Structure 1
Amino acid sequence: METLAYPPAPVVARPATSQPPTDTLPRPARRRLLHLLWELRYSGAEVMVYDAKEYFESQGVYGSIVARGPEFGPYAPTLARAGYPVEHLPARRNLGSFIELYQYLRKHPADIVHLHLEGLFIWHCLAIRLAFPKARIVHTHHDVYFQYPPYLRLKRTFHRWLATKLGVRHVSIGESVQTVEREHFRNDTTIVYNWIDENEFRPPTPGQIAAARQEIGIAPDAFVVLTVGTCNDKKCHNEIFEAVARVKDQIPNLVFLHRGTGDNLPQERDYVKRLGIERHVLFLDYIDYLPKVFWASDGFIFSSHWEGLGNVILQAIACKVPVILYQGWGMNDFRPADPADTYGYWINPDTERFDEALLDLHARKQDGRIEDWREKAYAFYRRKFSAKKSLARMVEQYLGE
């Protein structure tokens, strides 16, 4: 078992999400929280665990992390430097692996265990309940699993029922996940929306927009559409590249800003060359301060056909960036019920392409109508999503009746 330990970095209070107790208020009872994750990568669950640390501790909940994937994961050092005890205990598909987990848990007592896993889920629940008969167990469903074949769906339905009987509380990250859990697995869940760091991802000033473009190397007058995400088959980035190739002659100043890494990145670079659009595509494998890519952008484009609830979309609209999304699970959670509140496009992936949306958003920038959409994007974020509310609701799952 591998362990990472770093002295915690100095912490700067974040007023929007952190409310440390003052000396005049009684301190809450100290509770031990264990997060069980898979490989620790720069993705939604891990980043939310990172962002929540201060708030949870202000409520008396002190966390540690165990990674169960075959690899520790590249985000492990970041979580350790934030002050989390982080350990790697790889899961295997055999009884011995869960005896090992049970023995680990008995040596490291916890009052609350938060499961972020789908794979081997019920075996984790059983090991946790045997080790901690009175612990609170919370399981967050981070994605929509409608694609399971019938046998696996039936099996997972039974696992969810058994977990509920073991006292597990089920959480969904949005309406799409909640609907799939209810309709496909007969599993009732409570919604706790994903949260982001609102002190980082916020509307930029004109000076911040100009500075971000200058630092990244984008012309002030460029029309910039951004995507942020892992380069894999699910993200379907080639569909954006193909749209850029089709509209580039009509939008000569178009820049597609691509922030992400992954197994498909070399193939994506090659595909951009074959399409002859290198001048219009800017790959950013790394950037030290992620909000800058949103501040530099006129629109956010996302080519996944489904998601749970994309944190990168939350980050975009929190930065006042209009969106171009596919219709589907997860993306529809960002669509306003009232058409008057629309701040982007929801494209039918079976019958439509991104071309018209790119051309229309460019026209909106040219005549100034994009500013209305920028305001509506931020208004929708503020109305529906709030880090403070989501963190408080998660603490209710940990400590409430």
Structure 2
Amino acid sequence: MGKKILYTATVLSHICQFHLPYLQAFQERGDQVHVAARDNLGEKNGLELRYADRYVPIPFQRSPKDPQNLEAYRRLKALIEAEDYDLIVCNTPVGGILTRLAARGARRKGTRVVYIAHGFHFYRGAPRKNWLVFYPLERAFSRLTDLVVTIAEEDAALARARFHCPVGHIHGIGVSPGRYRPASPEERAAMRGAEGLGPEDFAVLCTGELNRNKDQAVLLRAAARVRGEIPGLRALLAGNGPLEGELKALCGELGLEDTVRFLGYRTDLEKVAPAVDLIVSCSHREGLGLNVIEGMLCGVPVVASENRGHRELVADGESGLLFPAGGVDALAGCLLRMSREADREAMGRAGLERAQAYTVPRVKEELMPLLLGGTADA
């Protein structure tokens, strides 16, 4: 008889973006899969939940101080007590904390609780307040966890040294190598045409929620500094978020209306990433950026801000370039260099080879045994 499994996260889009291959793997084993999260799919332009036998709406809020999280805790605790799950896989900071609190009784009865950490808020170089607030919480809650799984090597080393439970490490959460792959010259030309890109344009793609951490403003300011030297520069911003209006206003201030396009939230970036000349990521904090891996699997070189996730993915000068987070001048220099880079194609090939470890088939081989009770790596 199959297992009964619950996946939780603060928002449903997290499950749909990152976990569907593993929900599918459980269903193919004959397991029953439930998902509990706040439904935010109306904001995500076609993203949908699949491979779940049951979805339970839970009003998680991203702010730990939001009073609705008390109701979320009560509903989740009642669900866990009623369903008698064999395995609970929790994700995201608030979803992970409330789930582990709600599962204390079930865990004493034998339910296995796994927390997948997609990037701790405390890390080398993080603000002191992050260490004062998030580190004590995660360390304390490791006592309520049977296994913590990290997607970044730096996080794994820290957790193994300081947490109170076993720690496993996987190479990201997995990107489909069938969906993200290099395009043929004919396919690439068609993709570029669909996005309004000419053959001489130097196209840059920056993907992610439009927020402070992703810091797309750095790319806009860097683009304004070099557009005179890169006449065909075209910057595509894929995503939506709270800073959309502010970023569009900044484009106006900088005179970038003809240089920057806001693509909105896209579920078909496999039709965009292979068509561009460069992937750019400006995040201050990143567990392991899927947008970077997606670009690498398409054979496109990457310019990324220096943080623990990007350092793990990008070999500086080999598969792309790293620049200091927030560094407008440094990013401008990287854009200039890559627009003229004779070895840009070689960097793309190096990134493609490096990205193979982060594909869904490889990650599935690492993750599924851990979730099903395997021993965490040492």
The answer, yes or no, to whether TM exceeds 0.5 is yes
Deviation at 1:153, TM superposition (A): 4.5
TM-score scaled to structure 2, two decimals? 0.86
| Percent of paired sites with the same residue | 22
Is 1:37 equivalent to 2:3 in the alignment? no
Q: Matches of 2:218 and 2:364 in 1, distance apart?
A: 35
Is 2:243 the partner of 1:264?
Answer: yes
**Distance (whole Å) between structure 1 residues aligned to residue 23 and residue 135 of structure 2:** 36
Classify 1:242/1:111 alpha carbon distance in 2 versus 1 (closer, same or farther; 3 Å): same
Q: In 2, distance between residues paired with 1:185 and 1:287?
A: 37
Residue by residue over 1:129-181, the C-alpha shift from the partner in whole angstroms, topping out at 9 and shown as x without a partner, is 313521221100112221444542463155234224xxx21100121332443
Residue 338 (structure 2) pairs with residue 357 (structure 1):
no
Secondary structure in 2 matching 1:378: helix
SS in structure 2 of the partner of residue 225 of structure 1: strand
Could you tell me which amino acid in structure 1 is paired with residue 153 of structure 2? E
- Alignment partners' CA distance in 2, 1:186 and 1:400: 17
Q: Quick one: which of 163, 167, 191 aligns to 1:212?
A: 191
Question: Aligned partner of 1:356: which letter?
Answer: G
* Alignment partner, residue 86 of structure 2: 111
Q: Which residue of 2 aligns with 1:52?
A: 22
Identify which of 121, 129, 143 aligns with 1:162.
143
Structure 2: distance between partners of 1:153 and 1:182: 16
- Coordinate RMSD, CA, aligned: 2.6
Gaps of 5+ in 2: 61-66
2:304 is paired with a residue whose SS is: strand
Match of 2:94, SS state, is coil
Larger Rg, first or second structure (1 or 2): 1
Partner in structure 2 of residue 16 of structure 1: none
Q: 1:136 to 1:353 in 2, by over 3 A?
A: same
**3-state secondary structure, aligned to 2:229:** coil
List gaps (5 residues or longer) in structure 1.
1-28
- Provide the residue aligned with 1:172 in structure 2: 150
Shift of 1:36: 0.8
Q: Is the 8 A contact 1:144 1:180 kept in 2?
A: no
Q: List per-residue Cα deviations over 1:230-287 (Å, max 9, x = no partner).
A: 1011111111011111101111011111111111111111111110111111211144
SS in 1 for 2:19: helix
User: Is the 1:222–1:254 Cα contact (8 Å) retained in structure 2?
Assistant: yes
Residue 107 of structure 1: how far off its partner (Å)? 2.4
- Structure 2 distance, partners of 1:243, 1:378, is 26
Q: Which moved more, 1:388-397 or 1:317-326?
A: 388-397
Cα pair distance change 1:32/1:78, threshold 3 Å: farther
The yes-or-no answer on 1:251 pairing with 2:230 is yes
Structure 1, residues 73-112: CA drift from partner, whole Å, max 9, x if none?
Answer: 4359844455552221224577775443222223223211
Secondary structure of 2:85's aligned partner:
coil
The corresponding residue for 2:217 is: 238
Question: 1:10 — aligned with what?
Answer: none
- Aligned runs of 1:12-23 on 2, under 5 Å? none
Superposition TM-score, scaled by structure 1 size: 0.81
Matches within 5 A, 1:390-401: 390-401=363-374
- Deviates further, 283-292 or 252-261: 283-292
> What does the per-residue CA deviation read over 1:26-77, in whole Å, with 9 as the maximum and x for residues that have no partner?
xxx5222110111223x5x53121233333333344422101x4x6443598
Report SS of the residue matched to 1:36. strand
Moved over 6 A (4+): 93-96
1:25 aligns to what?
none
Contact 2:282/2:326, CA 8 A, preserved across alignment:
no
CA contact (8 A) 2:237 2:261 kept: yes
| Aligned equivalent of 2:64 | none
Give the whole-Å Cα distance in 1 for the aligned partners of 2:46 and 2:353: 35
Q: How many Å separate the matches in 2 of 1:214 and 1:149?
A: 44
Residue 235 of structure 1: SS of its match in structure 2? coil
Distance 1:248 1:184 in 2: 47
Q: Secondary structure at the match of 1:38?
A: strand
The structure 2 residue matched to 1:192, chosen from 170, 175, 186, is 170
Which of 377, 380, 383 is equivalent to 2:351?
377
Give the structure 1 partner of residue 133 of structure 2: 152
Deviation at 1:297, TM superposition (A): 0.5
Whether 1:140 aligns to 2:116 is yes
SS at match of 2:209: coil
Residue identity opposite 1:134 in structure 2: G
How far did 1:124 drift? 2.4
Letter in 2 for 1:244: A
Cα distance, 1:296–1:149 mapped onto 2, change above 3 Å: closer
Q: Deviations over 1:160-206 (max 9, x none)?
A: 34224xxx211001213324435676775211222012211111111
